Amino acid sequence: MSAVAPPSPAAPHFAPPLQKLLLQVADAVQGVQAGQSLNALLARCPAELRPGTQALSFHVLRHLGAAQAARKLLAPKAPPAKVDSLLLSALALLWPVAEPAYADHTVVDQAVSAARKRVPASAGFINAVLRRFLREREALVEAARRDPQGAFNHPPWWIDKLKADWPAQWQAILAANNEQPPMSLRVHAGRGTAEAYRERLIQAGLGARLLGELAPQALVLDKPVPVQQLPGFAEGDVSVQDAAAQLAAPLLLNERPGLPPLPAAPRLLDACSAPGGKTAHLLELRPEAEVVALDADAERLARVQDTLQRLQQRATLKAADARDTAAWWDGQAFDAILLDAPCSASGIVRRHPDVRWLRRAADIAQLAQIQAGLLDALWPTLKAGGRLVYATCSVFKAEGQAQVDAFLQRCPDAELIPVDGFTGHLLPLAHNEAQPGGASIVDGFFYALLLKKKA
């Protein structure tokens, strides 16, 4: 999944009438609960309502567990899905937060109006439930938080898995998942430094901080803005990319002790390349490289082409399943491979708050099987003495360290090269730095650098 600019909460005097937004948000919540991604649902939303719908959907999905726990207390028998999704959306907006987007009376009034549009017979029921919630809010919030799903706004299986994987950090990870993420930028390495671009931002009235050694080309904006406001964005001077995702390209390309050097014009494979941020970063760092960008989804591969076109870069794009090497590989071995494998996206939940409600416990084992298949298929396409970076935007160990440990057992010619600060699991609260307001800088990722030993 790509890193996107996080939406800001919708302000009542800038947004369309809340009634219209609530109907769209309720449709989105119902769709997510039925297994549809929020991105796909937003694409069907009327253009004039999309920004407000996205902002409120993000808020509702971050508080959906609490809203569900409260609704069970208020109405133990769930109403029909259309009514329930509207009720849950309103309860999430009424949940106590530091800066509510709307006044309580506005939420109740507009939710009832929306109910009259959606299911007229439900208007009285929704009015009664919401007014009771407001009367008893303190007690109901306290009771809802005794339910783990209500306390942490994640499904119980997800909470249990994090407890098992990260017994000391699981609560901090869950809290980070409910933050509004910062907007991070990657300055084009061939066009200037992060410090120089920061000066351009200041001249444009935008504040940002440098990340230094963590990600030398990275900046974190004080406040998210539309990309059109970023100086030189259309010309390719800068891209939006989380700081954790910016570690992939230098991990693959930089020379390190124990690694044979790459040739002057290395042949590189980005095996699961969409939407293209990491492909572009590889070319920024090694513009002389021959890069093959592969993705199983032809529509998503088109986004890679759009990214490269904006940055005035070239790569060979192929739409194919990386595991089916006969369909795409020409037999010429690669010097280095980046495998950013399909995963649960459990490390980027703050950017995609629907993910926690879309995933099921059984998905993790299925995804791990796909990841193992990709590693096994791609390893023969790598030169002896070459390197492969395995990456996932996941904090679950089954998709990270356990996956690599199993691969090393299967492949005696594979050697793990530890790189301090880069390899292993990066948690959302890593590096002990935080944005103003408490938001952590990096998303959750896993990286492993593997050397293919020569015979």
Residues with a catalytic annotation lie at 393
Residue 167 structure tokens? 């017994």
How many angstroms separate the first and last alpha carbons of the chain? Answer: 37
149 neighbors 185 (Cβ within 8 angstroms): no
Neighbours of 95 (CB within 10 A): 22
Give the DSSP per-residue string, 101-153. SS-HHHHHHHHHHHHHHH-GGGHHHHHHHHHHHHHTHHHHHHHHTTSHHHHHS
| Rounded Cα–Cα distance for residues 349 and 295 (Å) | 22
Cβ neighbours of residue 370 under 8 Å, at least 6 residues apart?
A: 341, 342
Which run of H or E residues covers position 424? Answer: strand 424-426
In contact, 429 and 169? CB cutoff 8 Å: yes
CA–CA separation, 275 and 30 (whole Å)? 27
**Token pair listed for 437:** 């307001």
